[in-house]
Amino acid sequence: MSQKKHRLGRYWLIWFVILGLVLLLSVLGLRLLLQQFNVWVIIGLGVLLYVLMAILQAKRNTSPQRIPIFYTDVKEVGFEYQEVTFPSRDGVELSGWFVPGQNGAGVIVTHGLSGNRLTGVKVARMLVKRGYSVLLYDLRLHGRSSGDVSTWGWLEVNDLLGALDYLLSRAEVNPERIGAFGYELGGQITLRAAAQDVQLRAIWAEGPTLAVLTDHMIDSGISFLKLVFYPWLWLAYQTQGLLTGVRMPEGVVQAVAKIAPRPLLLVAAGRGQEYLISRFLFETAGEPKELYTIAEARHGECMRARPEEYEKKLLGFFDSSLNNETALKN
């Protein structure tokens, strides 16, 4: 039996068991409720809902919606590109666009969950205009890339490392001048990939997600919310591992501490959870580092909130980090 068939078989078995339990408990619960109010039935149904929500979250993480590449015309994209394919470091065939540059430096752009290469087009336009080579690509099970399952970044770190290998093969790119830009899930993947390969010389992580349960323990206090939320997270991550057959990797908090002395820039919108996560990662990271926050921006809208400032920050970071001497003189 192939690995894919094994995963699918296990996946459907889990859902048939869950469905059977739901139907059984629903029938029994309804019958008891009709006879008399039973607090244990209510508690049981609440626990069942709690478990189901965790399982549904795991399913969402492992079965993202595949969004098609809606436009490919050079006029709409804003730059000329080469359609390329390359393997991830664990052998999954990935698809993307490569834009040859003139300044010798290259940047890999990684999108978030249920995104694709088009997510990074606006960022790519800024970099291409500056003379950078840019690689926009689709993570596994996204866009035009192949893949059997999505793993919330656990295996997708191999996708970014495969993209790095591709850039290293291009004559236009100096292997000492490669940076990475990641958004949301792509931010998490970028941080974890940088911890594994020092050939990623400059790291921009925007609204990065967390990867494992220990990442969520950003303070040592105890509260009722944590007592409720942490077991739910544990169940969601365990279910995700069961559905994918992948063991939980090193967390992003551990990874970010390994990036120094390479430059790191973390970007956060608002003052809510995204900001708190980025702030904690910033405090964990070594120098050189910067936390760029846009308080009035909503999630995913940092560029829209302050477009000119954002572009200046983006180009300034990669120019200084990747030694773009021509740009620095201008």
Helix or strand holding residue 197 (H, E): none
| Predicted pLDDT of residue 289 | 98
The rounded distance, in Å, linking the Cα atoms of 330 and 327 is 5
The rounded distance, in Å, linking the Cα atoms of 237 and 158 is 19
Q: Which three-class secondary structure state does DSSP give residue 134?
A: strand
Domain regions of the chain by residue span: 1-66+224-248, 74-211+250-329
- Structure tokens of 283? 């405090």
| Predicted pLDDT of residue 44 | 73
| Predicted pLDDT of residue 194 | 98
Residue 173 is given by DSSP the state: S
| Predicted pLDDT of residue 86 | 98
| Predicted pLDDT of residue 271 | 80
Q: Which three-class secondary structure state does DSSP give residue 107?
A: strand
Per DSSP, the chain holds a count of helices (H) and strands (E) of 12, 8
Class of the CATH domain delimited by 74-211+250-329? alpha beta
DSSP string, 46-87: HHHHHHHHHHHHHHHHHS----------HHHHSS--EEEEEE
Biggest alpha carbon distance in the chain?
A: 81
The rounded distance, in Å, linking the Cα atoms of 127 and 324 is 12
Q: Looking at this protein, which amino acid is placed at residue 77? A: V
The rounded distance, in Å, linking the Cα atoms of 50 and 42 is 12
| Predicted pLDDT of residue 257 | 96
What's the half-sphere exposure (Cβ side, CA atoms, 13 Å) at 126?
Answer: 20
Question: In this structure, are residues 133 and 167 in contact, taking their beta carbons and an 8 Å threshold?
Answer: yes
User: pLDDT digit of tens for each residue in the chain (330 aa)?
Assistant: 444 444 444 445 565 666 666 667 666 666 665 555 566 666 777 788 888 888 888 988 898 989 999 999 999 999 999 999 999 999 999 999 999 999 999 999 999 999 999 999 999 999 999 999 999 999 999 999 999 899 999 999 999 999 999 999 999 999 999 999 999 999 999 999 999 999 999 999 999 999 998 888 766 566 667 777 888 889 999 999 998 999 989 999 999 999 999 999 999 998 888 999 999 999 999 999 999 999 999 888 999 999 999 999 999 999 999 986 555 454
Integer angstrom CA distances of residue 92 from 86, 115, 290 = 8, 18, 34
Residue 103 is given by DSSP the state: S
